Amino acid sequence: MNRFQPIKHSEIECRFCDFLTPLSKHAPVDTPWLLGASYAAFVSIGALVPGWSLIVPKNHKINLTEDYTRTDFWNFVESAASILKDQYGDFSIFEHGAFDFDSQTSCGTGHAHLHMVPLSFSLFEEAQAFDKTLRWEKCLVSQIAEKSRKSEYLYVADHFQGEHTQGNICLLTKETSQFFRKVIATKLGIPDSYDYKKSKMLDITLQSFETLSSNGWNSLKNTRSA
Ligand SMILES: [Zn+2]
Ligand SMILES: [Zn+2]
């Protein structure tokens, strides 16, 4: 698909498609801090901790199940990961995997995205403690398509190892809104701040954008001149 194609009707309300439209001007936090041929990295609006980032495919799609088996996806994620780790240390990854465009599970945006969040605790352990009714199964990131079997899912991994990342998947029987945001906000002692639509955390978001984007552009310059 050509990126200069007009945005289709079903995508008109999509904020990521809007942010990725060439030539449109956006606030810094709505601008990618790293941009590749098919993917972009943004700071998450409502970042509860510094560095919280999202990897977003340029083409509109509902989840990342197909991307997890693509080499160009992992090349991009690894570039973003090395910058993130340099600035903020180890991070967990997670996805709220939706299958319907208007599902609550998709964080209120129908455009696929992978969260990368620098945390000082195990997100998987906190997720288990937060809702003991959820059943988790070990899952390599490359097996998500096969294991999710077109059901909505939550996926989390505390140790990022690129395409070899080993995490845990939970198949959902009902839509679950902003699940991992609730887990993280609760662990941080600010449970009411989970909703990014109400708590935009603009100070953390803007500071993270400045740190990551200056490193993002430097890394692109170095790659080009190498
Ligand atoms: Zn979109
Ligand atoms: Zn999300």
Ligand nearest to the CA of 113: 2
CA 222 to ligand 2 centroid distance, Å: 31
The pLDDT value recorded for residue 175 is 77
The pLDDT value recorded for residue 7 is 46
Residue 91 · residue 51 · CB < 8 Å: yes
Q: Is residue 3 part of a domain?
A: no
Report the domain count for the chain.
1
The pLDDT value recorded for residue 1 is 42
Burial tier of 173 (Cβ tally within 10 Å: 0-12, 13-18, 19+): exposed
Q: Is residue 1 part of a domain?
A: no
CA 110 to ligand 1 centroid distance, Å: 7
Ligand nearest to the CA of 62: 1
CA 146 to ligand 2 centroid distance, Å: 21
pLDDT tens track, the chain, 226 positions: 444 444 444 445 788 888 888 766 777 778 999 999 999 999 998 999 999 999 999 999 999 999 999 999 999 999 999 999 999 999 999 999 987 766 666 666 789 999 999 999 999 999 999 999 999 999 999 999 999 988 899 999 999 999 999 999 999 988 788 999 999 999 999 999 998 888 888 899 999 999 999 887 656 555 544 4
CA 9 to ligand 2 centroid distance, Å: 22
Retrieve residue 159's tokens. Answer: 């140790």
Ligand nearest to the CA of 20: 1
CA 219 to ligand 1 centroid distance, Å: 26
Give me the domain span that covers residue 75: 9-225
- Locate all alpha helices (DSSP H) within the chain, ordered by sequence: 15-19, 71-88, 123-130, 144-148, 179-187, 202-225
Q: Is residue 36 part of a domain?
A: yes
The pLDDT value recorded for residue 218 is 59
Strands 34-35 and 39-43: antiparallel
CATH number of the domain enclosing 79:
3.30.428.10
Mention every residue, 6+ apart, whose C-beta is less than 8 A from residue 9: none
Q: What is the DSSP string of 27-42?
A: -GGGS-SEE-SSEEEE
The pLDDT value recorded for residue 84 is 97
CA 160 to ligand 2 centroid distance, Å: 17
Q: Is residue 4 part of a domain?
A: no
Q: Is residue 205 part of a domain?
A: yes
